[in-house]
Amino acid sequence: MKRLGLVMPVSVFMMLMAGVGAWLCLAPPDLALITHQSAAVQIHLMAAVVAFLIGSVLLVAPKGILPHRIMGWIWVGLMLVTALSSFFVRELNAGQFSLIHALSGWTAIAAPMLIGLARRKQIKRHRLMAYGLYFGGLVIAGLFTFIPGRLMWQVFFT
């Protein structure tokens, strides 16, 4: 019965990935723009993209088994790299920290807490915090990078 519950999310995820793949083939991004960025921006971007992909798998894959735990540890590590590298990315606010850095601070605290919650068998809190970090720290924050004029907008739409 549990496997049937995965059919819809996995199907939606696969259709979404197929659509993104087709779009990228029709309008390939200008990756040269990324190579001209600072090391901090490149590390931040790569860690965030890989964390998004692994997090997407973690959302739909079976929970509590060894692959989930291994990928979860990797995801937490990538979230920490993403959060900590963001403190070296300050192009938006004339070299100062911006409001988004508060989210990075919270991510740096909350990501390791996920592991502690799982180890203490507080699975409901673990799940809620993981969803919050995924959707708040990756999806919503990631969407803000596509505002016209920002780097990801330039990479994908110019």
Domain containing 119: what range?
37-157
Is residue 59 a part of any domain in this protein?
yes
Is residue 28 a part of any domain in this protein?
no
- pLDDT grade for 26, boundaries at 50, 70 and 90: low
Q: How many domains does the chain have?
A: 1
Is residue 92 a part of any domain in this protein?
yes
Per the rule left: phi > 0, alpha: psi between -120 and 50, beta: everything else, 62 is beta
- pLDDT grade for 158, boundaries at 50, 70 and 90: confident
Over residues 111-153, the pLDDT tens digits come to 999 999 999 999 999 999 999 999 988 988 888 888 887 878 8
Dihedral sign of CA atoms 46, 50, 51, 53 in order: positive
Is residue 122 a part of any domain in this protein?
yes
Is residue 1 a part of any domain in this protein?
no
The CA distance from 77 to 55, in Å, is 12
Main-chain dihedrals φ then ψ at residue 61, nearest 5 degrees: -80, 160
Is residue 105 a part of any domain in this protein?
yes
Is residue 55 a part of any domain in this protein?
yes
Over residues 87-113, the pLDDT tens digits come to 888 766 666 777 777 788 899 999 999
How many Cα atoms sit within 13 Å of 144 on the Cβ side?
A: 10
Q: What six digits make up the tokens of 76?
A: 């937490």
Question: Picking from 20-29, 38-47, 127-136, which range would have the lowest pLDDT averaged per residue?
Answer: 20-29
Please provide the average confidence, as pLDDT, over all residues in the chain: 83
Is residue 20 a part of any domain in this protein?
no
